[in-house]
Amino acid sequence: MKLTALEVFHVKPHWMFLKVTTDAGITGWGEPGAAGQARMVAAVVDELRPALLGQDPGRIEHLWQTMYRGLHYRGGPLLMGAISGIEQALWDIKGKALNVPVYDLLGGSCRNRIRMIAPCGGTSPQDAAFQAKALRLRGYSAVLSGKDGLTHNLDSMGTVEKFVARVAAVRQEVGPTVDVAVDLHGRATLAVAKRLLSLLEPHMPLFVSEPCAPENVQALTQLTASSVVPLAVGGRLYSRWHFREILERQAAAVLQPSVSHVGGIFEARKIAAMAEVNQINIAPHSPTGPIALAASLQLAACTPNFSVQEHTGMSNKWDLGHGYLTTPFLVHEGYIDIPKGPGLGIEVNEDMLRERASTGEAEPPRMAQATDGSYTE
């Protein structure tokens, strides 16, 4: 069996799907990490195409190493995003060829269903509590409260208290039996993060994700040493080499590799094994669409130190595959049953996908700009 074609689909809101075709008639699907950078990631896929066409899709590790090591410059969000989508599609092909789910090829399942965590937004404590209540009533045992807006180097007392009040309202609403995680999106400085963690501590968060910029390992190390709140990091780290320093310096209690940014399913599984040695769980990051979710579920199914799987909780359920998959995922009482089908366990509604896919340029990169001209994230 040989690879014959790679086709990219730019899909709103800012996703990119990848179809990989073989001469045996088996196709694989993947979702490169492309949030706000789809045109650039698509260009990288195009650069990798000559190294892939005509190759045996079953040699996944060999092709991964070829893509990663074949270029002089390695890593980074664009290259790893492209490799991630291609790698997912290769596993999808291999699973379909052997008629087994991907997790069966990686040691078999450790669980029958995957615990999910969904975001509860809201600009006020009342709104946040209302959304958290809705998730609790739907059976979720974990909710995620995020930091809205931009952050200055030294946030005002009012800004900090407003954010903490939202988390407190969520905790009061869901009680002690539902876990509350917090995502700061890497926007806080070390000084502000220290304040926030001390104020969040009484509300017993499951973890606080990206309390400061993820590349600032020294700051993460200081925060870990000064707070009892578990810290999580990993959604914007791009291979096991980035996670190595986090583990060596014990700078986090939870790792959040994203199968669409870190190099794919097997690379995330390797990172999970590194974390297991250090008695650290993983909570895979997934700010992306339904194919990335399908790949994440394969990872979660076969990983013993898995904790909880993020999904975006879109009201139109696009993130669960409505309008994109012939059988969308169903969250029942806060869990998704592990997929039983071969490969990624999904069937893409290609006609609908082509109808929804952008026929022109992909959406331009998104940059968060403050009113004073500064940038965040």
CATH of residue 179's domain is 3.20.20.120
The residue among 375, 339, 361, 326 whose CA lies nearest residue 104 is 339
Catalytic residue among 14, 185, 242, 261: 185
In the structure encoding, which two tokens stand for residue 276, read together?
């297991």
* One domain, residues 178 and 316: yes
* One domain, residues 233 and 155: yes
What's the pLDDT at 286? 83
The residue among 305, 347, 311 whose CA lies nearest residue 331 is 311
Q: Which of 53, 74, 101 is the last residue of a domain?
A: 101
Stated length of the chain? 377
Considering the domain boundaries, does residue 348 fall inside one? no
* One domain, residues 108 and 95: no
Considering the domain boundaries, does residue 352 fall inside one? no
Task: Give Cα 174 to chain centroid, integer Å.
Answer: 25
* One domain, residues 82 and 111: no
What's the pLDDT at 149? 54
Considering the domain boundaries, does residue 205 fall inside one? yes
Considering the domain boundaries, does residue 128 fall inside one? yes
Mean pLDDT, rounded, for 335-346: 97
What's the pLDDT at 202? 96
Rounded CA-CA distance 88/263 in Å is 9
Which are the contacts of 365, defined by CB distance < 8 A and separation ≥ 6?
A: 36, 37, 39, 40
Clarify whether 185 is annotated catalytic: yes
* One domain, residues 108 and 97: no
pLDDT tens-digit map of 216-239: 999 999 999 999 999 999 999 998
- Please report which confidence band the pLDDT of residue 250 belongs to, taking 50, 70 and 90 as the band edges: very high
Q: Which of 101, 130, 148 is the last residue of a domain?
A: 101
Query: For residue 28, what is the domain's CATH number?
Result: 3.30.390.10
pLDDT tens-digit map of 273-326: 999 999 999 999 986 899 999 999 999 999 999 999 999 888 899 999 999 999
Considering the domain boundaries, does residue 365 fall inside one? no
HEC profile for the chain? Answer: CCEEEEEEEEECCCEEEEEEEECCCCEEEECCCCCCCHHHHHHHHHHHHHHHCCCCCCCHHHHHHHHHHCCCCCCCHHHHHHHHHHHHHHHHHHHHHHCCEHHHHCCCCCCCEEEEEEECCCCCHHHHHHHHHHHHHCCCCEEEEECCCCCCCCCCHHHHHHHHHHHHHHHHHHCCCCEEEEECCCCCCHHHHHHHHHHHHHHCCCCEECCCCCCCHHHHHHHHHHCCCCEEECCCCCCHHHHHHHHHCCCCCEECCCCCCCCCHHHHHHHHHHHHHCCCEECCCCCCCHHHHHHHHHHHHHCCCECCEECCCCCCCHHHCCCCECCCCCCECCEEECCCCCECCCCECHHHHHHHCCCCCCCCCCCCECCCCCECC
For 84, the domain range is: 3-101
* One domain, residues 121 and 186: yes
Considering the domain boundaries, does residue 178 fall inside one? yes
What's the pLDDT at 68? 94
Task: Give Cα 273 to chain centroid, integer Å.
Answer: 18
Residue 359 has pLDDT above 50, yes or no: no
What's the pLDDT at 132? 94
* One domain, residues 158 and 180: yes
Number of independent structural domains in the chain:
2
Residue 36 has pLDDT above 80, yes or no: no
- Please report which confidence band the pLDDT of residue 360 belongs to, taking 50, 70 and 90 as the band edges: very low
What's the pLDDT at 45? 96
Model pTM?
0.92
* One domain, residues 59 and 169: no
Instruction: Name which residue leads in pLDDT, 360 or 168.
Output: 168
* One domain, residues 96 and 113: no
* One domain, residues 121 and 251: yes
Considering the domain boundaries, does residue 366 fall inside one? no
* One domain, residues 70 and 34: yes
What's the pLDDT at 365? 47
* One domain, residues 129 and 54: no
Catalytic residue among 10, 242, 285, 311: 285
